[in-house]
Chain A
Amino acid sequence: SQTIHQWPATLVQPVGSPLSLECTVEGTSNPNLYWYRQAAGRGLQLLFYSVGIGQISSEVPQNLSASRPQDRQFILSSKKLLLSDSGFYLCACYQQGGYGYTFGSGTRLTVV
């Protein structure tokens, strides 16, 4: 079955600093990959999804960007963090053929 590795688990960054969150997937190939954000007490908001290397779709305009340099690697970035970027970021993977939709363990980002 597929496994998602996401790091770091927690991160505290000052306003205006850059961001790079990494997500890698094992046990599958050519997955659909997703970045979600979960603000405190709120539901999950889809930020980006990718159906292949170099292909990124953005769901909402924001201060963040995503890249997929390899089939099983998905990166969430920002050049300058805002206070409103604080939240819990989840990477997810969808693979056809029975494995379904799997989430990473999440990164809690606090922008100070």
Chain B
Amino acid sequence: KNQVEQSPQSLIILEGKNCTLQCNYTVSPFSNLRWYKQDTGRGPVSLTIMTFSENTKSNGRYTATLDADTKQSSLHITASQLSDSASYICVVRSGTYKYIFGTGTRLKVLA
């Protein structure tokens, strides 16, 4: 069964600290993996996209990793800011049209 599992479900950190969010997937066939940031009540916004051959990709303070052998991805946030408070969703594309969404990690950054 195609599944995308994210951990932790929620996370609270202090401003300026780093954190890492995890995504494990059992999706076949695998096309690519995206991390999205979703502010409350808004649509998700893409942070990174990674294909099978890519191990690491950065977008500012966000760095995503992908291990296609273990089917794991992580999103590392460096020097967190209050504006990083949001839900982070891992999405795996399978084939041409099918996208499997994780349930997200809810991150709260405190001053």
Tell me which residues across on chain A come within 8 A of B42, comparing CB atoms: 105-106
Q: Write the nearest CB–CB distance from B11 to chain A, whole angstroms.
A: 15
Q: Which residues of A contact B36 (CB under 8 A)?
A: 103
CA of A62 to CA of B99, assembled, Å? 19
Would you list which residues of chain A between 52 and 91 have a CB under 8 Å from chain B?
A: 57, 88, 90
Given contacts A46-B99, A49-B97, contact A105 B104 (CB under 8 A): no
Interface of chain A residues 1 through 22 with chain B (CB within 8 A): 4, 6
Determine chain A's interface SS by DSSP, over half rule. Answer: strand
How many of B's residues come within 8 Å of A, CB to CB? 19
Q: How far is the CA of A51 from the CA of B98 in the complex (A)?
A: 12
- Shortest CB-to-CB span from B102 to chain A, Å, is 6
Q: Which residue of B lies closest to A9 (CB)?
A: B41
Taking CB atoms, residues of chain B closer than 8 Å to A108 are 41
Do A44 and B97 touch (CB < 8 A)? Answer: no
State whether the Cβ of B89 lies closer than 8 Å to any Cβ in chain A.
Answer: yes
**Chain A interface residue count, Cβ-Cβ cutoff 8 angstroms:** 25
Chain B at the A interface: SS class: strand
Chain A residue, CB-CB nearest to B90: A43
Question: Which residues of chain B are within 8 angstroms of A104 by Cβ–Cβ distance?
Answer: 43
Is A27's beta carbon under 8 Å from chain B?
A: no
Would you call B49 and A51 a contact (CB within 8 A)?
Answer: no
Smallest CB separation, A37 vs chain B (Å): 11
Residue of B nearest to A92 (CB): B43
Q: Establish whether residues A106 and B41, one from each chain, have CB atoms under 8 Å apart when the complex forms.
A: yes
User: Does B41 contact A43, Cβ atoms closer than 8 Å?
Assistant: no
B contact residues vs A (CB 8 Å cutoff): 4, 34, 36, 41-46, 49, 89, 91, 97-99, 101-104
What are 26 A-B pairs with beta-carbon distances under 8 A?
Answer: A6-B43, A34-B99, A36-B101, A43-B101, A43-B104, A44-B44, A44-B89, A44-B101, A46-B99, A46-B101, A49-B97, A51-B97, A57-B97, A88-B41, A90-B43, A92-B43, A100-B46, A101-B46, A101-B91, A101-B99, A103-B44, A103-B45, A104-B43, A106-B41, A106-B43, A108-B41
